[in-house]
Structures are given as structure tokens and as C-alpha cells.
Amino acid sequence: MAILVNTNVAALNSQFYLQTVNEQIGRSFERLSSGSRINSARDDTAGLQISNRLNVQILGLNQASRNANDGISIAQIAEGALSEISDNIQQMRVLALQGGNTTLSADDRAALGLEFEELLTTNNEIAASASFGTYNLLDGTAPSSGFQIQSGANSSSTDTVTTGNATLSALFGQLVENEIEAGDADPSLVISTLSAQNLSNLGTLGQVVAAYMVVTAETDLGDALSNVFGTDLAAISGELSNLAAISELQVDVDELVKILNTQLVANGGTGVSEVASAIGTSTFIGIAAGSTTSVGYSSDQLNTLVNFTTDALLEGMSGLITAVDAQRAKLGAEQNGLSSVVRNNSLAVVNVSAARSRIQDTDFALEITALTRNQIIQQVATSFLAQANQQPDVALSLLRF
């Protein structure tokens, strides 16, 4: 074995291994202190990229869940308002039932009409005031395609909340649409030409307009339609099936309530034959157009007309309840769908976080084991470095005589 002084190879080797083990101990301290196995790109280049992509997915899923909860809030606000509107319409139907008695005086009917009108007005106010932030939900100004909700971590993961329109005119429009789908109304009718049509083709809406004509003794169908909708229908384009989407049409509450608060009187007002002829069918109101030529109603005719107007109002209110329930059912389905999305996102966050943890997080048991091993090696390397530094002293012994 050569004895060298200028180059202490043993000391250099000991220094090299001591430096290496010190670096490994430093990394162990960093990993144990931060809790992360990857603290810089040099720790695991591929693992860093993968864990970052997984972290992006986790952040996206968490935000998507918050977005979906906003969508649920929108649906809950709208559905809550519709619930109150439905309760009010049910009370209006009760009032219509009460109005079917011919024993009521004019003052009694006026009182019924006052409450009926207040409920109608309140429903429109509820529809106008239901909002989420600055967006109104039920007055027809909300997007017809609905509010898009980014409910997933990717751009294509979206849902929609459609709140609809709960104003009185829109509910009547939905009633017509429902009856067209059921085959109870003619889908081909053009709104501008309704005054030349038979009201029986309009389903329940036709009955309501006919009832209005009966109680107001209106003999011009065009005027009756314009009064009920608050505008001249001859100037409105579109088909009857689009009634709910035409903002120019707003049911006139003051005119509609006349069906309930007007006291029909025998032997007074316009004759049945004139009104029946104007309505457009001899049997629509239960009395043939040519059954009388005198002005006024007989007792039997009066009872028949009261029955007709009551039934028309009851059918109208029942149809409105159905229209509201259809909106509530859709909102309920959307709430359930978004709730499912939130649950799925939450589960995905758990699973993706677990995947990221296996790549990113420090395994303390493994790291402490490695630290202990390296600390022992550090002590051994330090000891041997001290011994290696003493080896050149052997050369001095050779110089002693």
C-alpha cells in the first residue's frame, strides 16, 4: 500500500460519501418538515407534473361543486316562489267554487272578487320579485334557455337550470301549450286571427274568454280577447302555441276578475242568443244561440250560465295549478340532478386527492427509516474521515531515525 501525503484518497472518499449522505439527510428533513415528498422538480420531475395536473382537477371539482350549489340555490328560490303561487291559485279556486252559489249578493261577490284580484296581483308580484342576485327568475326576463352551470372540472361539464315564467299570462300560455300537447286545443291557430275562430278550439282559455263575454255581455269576440289580454290581438303575430313566450300579452287582472265578481241577473242585460252567437257555437255555453230572442235571461238560463262561468273559472285555475306544478317538477328534477353532481364531485375529489397523495405526500414511516439509516452512515463517515485524515501521519514515522 502506497503512503501518500499530497493526495489523501481515503479522506476524499470519506468526504464524498459524507457530502452525499448529508444531502440525503437534508432532503429527508425537507420532506418531513413540509409533509411533501416532492418539493422541487429535482425530487421527481414526472411526479411533479402528474401531481400538479391532479391538483388542477381537484381545484376544478371543488369550484364546480360551488357552482352547482349556486344552481341549486337558484332552483330553490324559484321553486319556493312557485310554491306560494300554487297556494294562492288553490285559494283562488276555492273562491271560484264559492262564487258558484247563486245565493250570493252583489256585495258578497264584490268581496270574493276583491280577494281573488288581490291574489292574482300578488302572484304577479311574487313572479316579479323572485331573484338570485341581480337576476329575476320568474318574470320572463331570465334566459329562455336557462342558466348554464359549470358543474364539472372540464369545459364540457355543464348543467342548466330553467326557471321559466310564472306571470299570469305565461301560466295561461303554458296551460294552452299543455292542452295542445294533449290534443284539447288547436295548435294551428294564429293569434292575430283568434277573433274569427271558434272559442271551443282554444280549450280552457276559450272557456274563460267565453265566461268573460257572458258576465260582461260582450258580443264582439275580438274586443273580448283584447280586453282579457290587455292589447289588440290582431296586431300580435305568432301561433297560439307560443302564447307563453309573447311578452306583449299580459292578462288583465281587472277584466279577468269580472268573471267572479259580476252578479248575473235574470231578465236583465244582453240576451243569451246574442252572446252565444258572438262566442261562435250554439252549445258552447250550454244554451243554443236561437233559444231566446228577448233581452235578458230566464231563471233556468241564469243557472246554466252561472254553472258555465263557475266551471270555466275552476278549469282555468286547475290548469294554472298544473302549469305551476310542471315548472316545480322541472325545478325539482334539476335540483336532484345538481345534488347528484355535487355528490359525484365530492367523491371524485376524495379519489383524486388520494391519487395525488400517493405521488406528492411524504411517507413518514419510510422517510424516517431512511433518515435514521443516513444519520448512522453520517456518523460512520465522519468517524472514518477523521481516521483518514490521520493516515498522512504515518509518513512522519518513516522520517524518524
Q: Kindly report, residue by residue over 224-283, the tens digit of the pLDDT.
A: 988 998 888 888 888 887 877 777 788 899 999 999 998 887 765 566 667 777 776 656
Q: What is the mean pLDDT of the chain?
A: 86
- Whether 24 and 376 have beta carbons less than 8 Å apart is answered as no
Per-residue confidence (pLDDT) for residue 336, from 0 to 100? 95
Enter the pTM of the model: 0.81
Per-residue confidence (pLDDT) for residue 148, from 0 to 100? 92
Per-residue confidence (pLDDT) for residue 283, from 0 to 100? 64
- Please state, in angstroms and as integers, the Cα–Cα distance from residue 3 to each residue in 7, 9, 234, following that order: 10, 10, 118
- Whether 362 and 35 have beta carbons less than 8 Å apart is answered as yes
Q: How confident is the model at residue 293 (pLDDT cuts 50, 70, 90)?
A: very low
Q: How confident is the model at residue 15 (pLDDT cuts 50, 70, 90)?
A: confident
Helix (H, G, I), strand (E, B) or coil at 231: coil
Q: How confident is the model at residue 290 (pLDDT cuts 50, 70, 90)?
A: low
Q: How many CB atoms lie within 10 A of CB 65?
A: 22
212: Cα within 13 Å, side-chain hemisphere: 25
Per-residue confidence (pLDDT) for residue 271, from 0 to 100? 66
Q: Is residue 11's pLDDT more than 50?
A: yes
Q: CA-to-CA distance for 278 and 34, rounded, in angstroms?
A: 87
CA-wise closest residue to 271 among 289, 294, 298, 241:
294
Helix (H, G, I), strand (E, B) or coil at 290: helix
Joined grid coordinates for residue 24 = 440525503
Helix (H, G, I), strand (E, B) or coil at 239: strand
Q: CA-to-CA distance for 315 and 309, rounded, in angstroms?
A: 10
Q: CA-to-CA distance for 318 and 174, rounded, in angstroms?
A: 12
Q: How confident is the model at residue 304 (pLDDT cuts 50, 70, 90)?
A: confident
Per-residue confidence (pLDDT) for residue 310, from 0 to 100? 93
Helix H or strand E encompassing 385: helix 364-390
Count Cβ neighbours within 10 Å for each residue of 14-33 and write b for 16 or more, e otherwise.
beebbeebeebbebbebbee
Q: Is residue 94's pLDDT more than 50?
A: yes
Residues 6+ apart with CB under 8 A from 368: 28, 32
Per-residue confidence (pLDDT) for residue 296, from 0 to 100? 65
Per-residue confidence (pLDDT) for residue 334, from 0 to 100? 95
Per-residue confidence (pLDDT) for residue 286, from 0 to 100? 75
Which is it for the CA torsion 193, 197, 201, 202, positive or negative?
A: positive
Helix (H, G, I), strand (E, B) or coil at 288: coil
pLDDT tens column, 344-388 = 999 999 999 999 999 888 888 888 888 888 888 888 888 877 887
Per-residue confidence (pLDDT) for residue 242, from 0 to 100? 80
**Phi, psi angles (nearest 5°) of residue 166:** -115, 15
pLDDT tens column, 128-173 = 999 998 999 998 888 888 899 999 888 888 999 999 899 998 898 8
Q: Is residue 329's pLDDT more than 70?
A: yes
Joined grid coordinates for residue 176 = 294552452
- Whether 51 and 38 have beta carbons less than 8 Å apart is answered as yes
What is the percent of the chain with per-residue pLDDT over 70, rounded to a whole number? Answer: 93
Strands (E), 290-356: none
Q: How confident is the model at residue 315 (pLDDT cuts 50, 70, 90)?
A: very high
Mark out the alpha helices in 183-271 (DSSP H runs): 204-216, 221-229, 253-256, 258-261
What letter represents residue 72's amino acid? Answer: I
If you count DSSP H runs as helices and E runs as strands, how many of each does the chain have, helices first? 12, 4
Q: CA-to-CA distance for 344 and 337, rounded, in angstroms?
A: 11
Q: CA-to-CA distance for 189 and 199, rounded, in angstroms?
A: 11
Q: CA-to-CA distance for 45 and 367, rounded, in angstroms?
A: 19
Q: CA-to-CA distance for 305 and 379, rounded, in angstroms?
A: 109
Q: Is residue 6's pLDDT more than 80?
A: no
Q: CA-to-CA distance for 162 and 182, rounded, in angstroms?
A: 23
Reported residue count of the chain is 401
Q: Is residue 59's pLDDT more than 50?
A: yes
Residues 6+ apart with CB under 8 A from 89: 119, 123, 317, 320, 321, 324
145-149 contacts, C-beta under 8 A, 24 or more apart: 147/71, 147/74, 149/67, 149/68, 149/70, 149/71, 149/338
Classify residue 361 by its DSSP letter.
B
